[in-house]
Amino acid sequence: MLIQKFLFVFYISSLFWRENVCADNRKFPPDFKFGIATASYQIEGGWDADGKGENIWDHLTHQTNLVKDHSTGDITCDSYHKSKEDLALLKDLGVDFYRFSLSWARILPTGYIDGQINEAGIRYYEDILSELEKHGIEAMVTLYHWDLPQKLQDDFGGVLNDTFIDVFANYAQLAFELFGSRVKYWVTFNEPFIICQQGYENGNKAPAITKAPGIDLYTCAHVVLKAHAKVYHIYDTFYRKTQKGKIGLVLNTDWFEPASGDPKDLEASERQLQFQFGWFAHPIVYGNYPQVMIDRIGERSIREGFKTSRLPKFTNSEIEEIKGTFDFIGLNHYTTTLTRWKEDEAIGKPESLKDISVEVFKNPFWEGSASSWLKVVPWGIRRISKWIKDTYKNPELIITENGYSDVGGIFDDSRRINYYREYLSNVLEAIYDDGVNITAYTAWSFMDNFEWLEGYTEKFGLFSVNFTDPARPRTPKSSVNYFKNVTKTKCVVEQCL
């Protein structure tokens, strides 16, 4: 027992030391791209401006007390009225592309194509795209970053119902039609794991439905995957040739580091990755869910008294339809978590965490941030990238989000600079030493914004926003200069080789 404890402490400290390595002084490849990201509900404000419809986040922030500081995204950064100014800042930052999302209810207030189409909403995004074009910045557009039109939630339960698939496809097709000639990268869904696990299981995201744990989240994912595939095929068949863009899905995951070299802990880490990243990556690469999910959920469901698995089954034609539906995989990655094997949970009320049954925890030595979940573990981005390469046939991988949070009012954000330097350094190693096909990197986030249920208590921006001033002035933090230098030199240290 004593020796085990000693080994554990030794192992944990070795992880700590591994962080303090020197930053890499090689340059990113000449065609490697840098971008920065935002999302509509988090920055736009103008929640009911010029005909925009209500969405599930408007609804949640207005009708519940779930947001920590009782704030809303009603105005937030007011980017709806300040986009010209914002895009000038982007130009100055020197990014190759800007990742932003469309507010579905701003374009289609009810969510339906045969409802009213909101011209003002369309104009808003057209102006952004023109301005980007003027500045020579490419657009990466996310169709769904969590702000579902409320009417679709009310009418048929949103992402839990197959009706969603066609309704989403109509909206996506309209977006391709209207904006596609100026969009280089399309993302169908941002972080379906969060949409389903938090929106329909633990209540940490809108619509915060917690009625059927262990069931609804799997239904949600099933619908999302079918909707994603449908939209991929629409783009592929009707738009790719003329619009010449790429389309993919953005998945989020920590790196899950085994807590020891014990094969059981390795198995725990792999299982955790499969239940999170593989849940979506496996279907789009190979056509179906990971076998470990099919087996575990199937077996537990039967023992719980269900007639069939709580994990829905794809038909053969759905498998064919879903397989291969990506030009790139987007990775949102921020941090690492340790995993330890544990005994399977007793059979009882279903819950997705019981299906996984892995113990997860953080190394107490890891540096923290303003977000309890976000510990600074730079080498994790290299390991997860390598794992994705090895597990999913070396796909084109775009880091679609990576960043660090502060509590606000911090302009000299040297910790954020360290974070970016160390994480980017590990991205370089993933590319050059592990042969991972990473083609672009996106920092989260352009400016401080509404951090979902955390409200304005966690700030991820390179630019700070004064939320108490009606003009919402933006002020650069020190990381702006650092990032500018990275985009200009493609080098993460003072001087590259």
Active site residues: 191, 401
Nearer to ligand NOJ by Cβ, of 259 and 398: the residue is 398
Nearer to ligand NOJ by Cβ, of 39 and 399: the residue is 39
Q: How far is the CB of 40 from ligand NOJ (least distance, A)?
A: 10
Tell me the CA end-to-end span of the chain in Å, nearest whole number.
Answer: 48
Nearer to ligand NOJ by Cβ, of 190 and 301: the residue is 190
The neighbouring-strand residues paired with 438 are 397
DSSP 364: T
| Beta pairing class for 336-341 and 255-258 | parallel
332 binds ligand NOJ (CB under 6 A): yes
Q: How far is the CB of 332 from ligand NOJ (least distance, A)?
A: 5
337 binds ligand NOJ (CB under 6 A): no
Nearer to ligand NOJ by Cβ, of 168 and 193: the residue is 193
Q: Do residues 155 and 145 make contact, with C-beta atoms less than 8 angstroms apart?
A: no
Pick from 98, 125, 387, 460: which binds ligand NOJ (CB under 6 A)? 460
277 binds ligand NOJ (CB under 6 A): no
444 binds ligand NOJ (CB under 6 A): yes
User: Which residues neighbour 210 within 8 Å (Cβ) at sequence distance 6 or greater?
Assistant: 200, 201, 202, 203
Residues 38-65 as b or e (16 or more Cβ within 10 Å = b): bbbbbbbbbbebeebbbbbbbbbbeeee
User: Which residues neighbour 183 within 8 Å (Cβ) at sequence distance 6 or greater?
Assistant: 129, 139, 140, 141, 243, 245
44 binds ligand NOJ (CB under 6 A): no
The CA-CA-CA angle for residues 234, 388, 395, to 5°, reads: 40
| CB atoms inside a 10 Å sphere around CB 10 | 9
448 binds ligand NOJ (CB under 6 A): no
Size of the site for ligand NOJ (CB under 6 A): 9
Nearer to ligand NOJ by Cβ, of 168 and 456: the residue is 456
Nearer to ligand NOJ by Cβ, of 89 and 194: the residue is 194
39 binds ligand NOJ (CB under 6 A): yes
Pick from 191, 254, 257, 413: which binds ligand NOJ (CB under 6 A)? 191
96 binds ligand NOJ (CB under 6 A): no
DSSP 46: -
By CB under 6 A, what part of segment 205-264 binds ligand NOJ?
none
Tokens of 452: 């979902």
By CB under 6 A, what part of segment 171-190 binds ligand NOJ?
190
Tokens of 371: 């977000």
DSSP code per residue over 115-167: S---HHHHHHHHHHHHHHHHHT-EEEEEEESS--BHHHHHHH-GGGSTHHHHH
Q: How far is the CB of 191 from ligand NOJ (least distance, A)?
A: 5
451 binds ligand NOJ (CB under 6 A): yes
420 binds ligand NOJ (CB under 6 A): no
Residues within the interface to ligand NOJ (CB under 6 A): 39, 42, 190-191, 332, 401, 444, 451, 460
